[in-house]
């Protein structure tokens, strides 16, 4: 029998942010990949050419993927993200990045090495109310952005 977890607050979030890109971006991007592939073939570096082609194909697949709607909830036991409970014991801290016309998200620092942050959009929620809830369970600590964060933003 599974235990029902009561949410203190919850909302729907997208699995990831899909940004619309102009045709110009795709033309330049794939033109660069094309020339890198040709360069690999000219220099007899078949591995480089294969890797560039695989990278282009992977990028194409990710661009076509539509984000799923997921439920995010703050509970007394931890944070619930799409049916996965991250207990407060596994989280080190939180930080709310909020700029009225810019970024609006909560960042949770985890103990994982390769993916140390869980970032969740605030959507239309009041950041002050969310902070008052989370401060009861986790310390508030400014999180620095890593290379993966900047690549994601790019």
SS3 assignment for the chain? CCCCCCEEEEEEEECCCCCCCCHHHHHHHHHHHHHHHHHHHHCCCHHHHHHHHHHHHHHHHHHHCCCCEEEEEEECCEEEECCEEEEHHHEEEEEEEECCCCCEEEEEEECCCCCCEEEEECCCCCHHHHHHHHCCCCCECCCCCCHHHHHHHC
Residue 2 has a pLDDT of: 47
Residue 60 has a pLDDT of: 93
* pLDDT values of the chain reduced to their tens digit, one per residue, 154 residues: 346 678 888 888 887 777 788 999 999 999 999 999 999 999 999 999 999 999 999 999 988 888 888 889 999 999 988 888 888 998 999 999 888 887 888 989 988 887 788 888 888 888 899 999 999 999 998 877 655 555 555 5
Residue 147 has a pLDDT of: 56
Whether residue 76 contacts residue 6, with contact meaning beta carbons closer than 8 Å, is answered with yes
Q: Rounded to an integer, what distance in angstroms lies between the CA atom of residue 109 and that of residue 97?
A: 13
């Amino acid at each position: 029998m599974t235990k029902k977890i009561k949410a203190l607050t919850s909302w729907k979030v997208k699995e990831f942010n899909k940004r619309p890109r102009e045709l110009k971006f795709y033309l330049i991007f794939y033109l660069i990949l094309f020339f890198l592939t040709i360069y690999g073939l000219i220099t007899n570096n078949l591995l480089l050419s294969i890797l560039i082609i695989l990278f282009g194909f992977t990028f194409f697949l990710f661009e076509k993927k539509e984000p799923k709607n997921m439920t995010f909830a703050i509970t007394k036991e931890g944070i619930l993200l799409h049916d996965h409970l991250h207990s407060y014991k596994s989280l080190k801290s939180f930080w709310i990045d909020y700029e009225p016309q810019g970024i609006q998200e909560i960042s949770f620092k985890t103990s994982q090495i390769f993916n140390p942050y869980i970032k969740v959009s605030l959507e239309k929620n009041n950041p002050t109310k969310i902070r008052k809830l989370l401060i009861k369970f986790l310390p508030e600590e400014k999180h620095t952005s890593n290379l993966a964060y900047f690549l994601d933003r790019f």
